Amino acid sequence: MQAIEFETCLDNGLIHLPLSYQDWQQGKTVKVIILGADEIPNKIPQDINCYAGTISLTQDPLEFQKMIRDEWA
């Protein structure tokens, strides 16, 4: 079974498919599952500066990166 995912608005009970999917599975039976948008959207915040200084590092990031890279050599 193949699956596609997209977001759209319901319009008087109709679901509008994006143009790129309108011929997908043409003439075949498909299963439709509708998920409501009552969950918190998983989007990147516009201002990521609100997270500045929230991580306490125990090691220098560049030293850690070098150690990890040397591990594969």
Name the band, by pLDDT with cuts 50, 70 and 90, for residue 68.
confident
- pLDDT value of residue 8: 84
Give yes or no for a contact between 37 and 30, defined as CB atoms under 8 angstroms apart.
Answer: no
Predicted confidence (pLDDT) per residue in 8-20, tens digit = 888 888 888 888 8
DSSP 34: -
Predicted confidence (pLDDT) per residue in 25-66, tens digit = 888 898 888 888 776 666 666 677 777 777 788 888 898 888
Instruction: Give the C-alpha separation, 67 to 5, whole Å.
Output: 40
- pLDDT value of residue 73: 61
- pLDDT value of residue 10: 82
Give yes or no for a contact between 24 and 4, defined as CB atoms under 8 angstroms apart.
Answer: yes
